[in-house]
């Protein structure tokens, strides 16, 4: 089975690495990190890089396509017609097309989620409606062959859910044990619907700060107003 994880500058690293650690453990599976061009891809933190060995020109098909999210990098990718065209072409070959966090915005911008329910990170989720998708605040949303996951850590859950559909419950449980995925958060503050308003405001401020840093990192000056408006 061939899995493509598309990566781009400004990516949130766990969005890609979380699903990778799950899906690579499925038998007879090869996972490829693919970018628009070969070379170094910088994470949104500015501290981590990936040396990508494959470009979109070299990868035209996949059984599974994973589109990770980012703090603001997704805004630039949503306007990259070359990438959106590639996503649509690869999607024609997939059994499953998936996303994590704001990666669903790329699927929506490519026209793949029109009329379908989808989720994303809690902050920009309503942007999905601008591209014809129906935003829902759920951890994982499956619609036809499209599986979208909420923010960052939800990518691990999405990949386990997908693995269970492909290789069954027993092997998926073994994969979960292999990566010792046994979440026991110290606080019950990971769900937007359950957390108090004060915590939402603090988290929102942190995201806005990251967005401002990312604008400089990615040189996204012309998109800065819309980005900061989204992050308010």
pTM, full prediction:
0.91
Residue by residue, pLDDT tens for the chain (232 residues) are: 999 999 999 999 999 999 999 999 999 999 999 999 999 999 988 888 999 999 999 999 999 999 999 999 999 999 999 999 999 999 999 999 999 999 999 999 999 999 999 999 999 999 999 999 999 999 999 999 999 999 999 999 999 999 999 999 999 999 999 999 999 999 999 999 899 999 989 998 988 887 777 776 576 545 545 555 555 5
Report the pLDDT value the prediction gives residue 227, as an integer from 0 to 100.
Answer: 54
Report the pLDDT value the prediction gives residue 147, as an integer from 0 to 100.
Answer: 98
Report the pLDDT value the prediction gives residue 210, as an integer from 0 to 100.
Answer: 79
Report the pLDDT value the prediction gives residue 217, as an integer from 0 to 100.
Answer: 58
187, 189, 162: which is closest to 176 by C-alpha? 162
């Amino acid at each position: 089975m061939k899995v493509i994880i598309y990566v781009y500058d400004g990516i949130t690293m766990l969005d890609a690495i979380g699903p990778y650690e799950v899906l690579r453990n499925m038998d007879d599976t090869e996972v490829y990190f693919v970018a628009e061009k070969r070379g170094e891809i910088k994470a949104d933190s500015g501290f981590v890089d990936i040396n990508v060995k494959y470009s979109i020109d070299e990868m035209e098909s996949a059984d599974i396509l994973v589109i990770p999210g980012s703090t603001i990098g997704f805004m630039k990718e949503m306007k990259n017609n070359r990438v959106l065209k590639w996503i649509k072409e690869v999607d024609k070959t997939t059994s499953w097309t998936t996303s994590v966090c704001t990666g669903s915005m790329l699927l929506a911008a490519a026209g793949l989620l029109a009329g379908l329910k989808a989720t994303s990170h809690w902050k920009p989720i309503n942007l999905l409606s601008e591209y014809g998708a129906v935003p829902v605040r759920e951890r994982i949303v499956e619609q036809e062959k499209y599986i979208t996951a909420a923010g960052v850590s939800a990518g691990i859950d999405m990949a386990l859910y997908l693995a269970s559909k492909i290789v069954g419950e027993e092997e998926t449980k073994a994969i979960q044990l292999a990566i010792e995925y046994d979440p026991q958060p110290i606080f019950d503050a990971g769900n937007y619907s359950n957390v108090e308003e004060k915590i939402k405001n603090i988290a929102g401020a942190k995201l806005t700060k990251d967005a401002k840093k990312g604008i400089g990192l990615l040189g996204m000056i012309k998109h800065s107003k819309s980005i900061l408006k989204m992050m308010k």
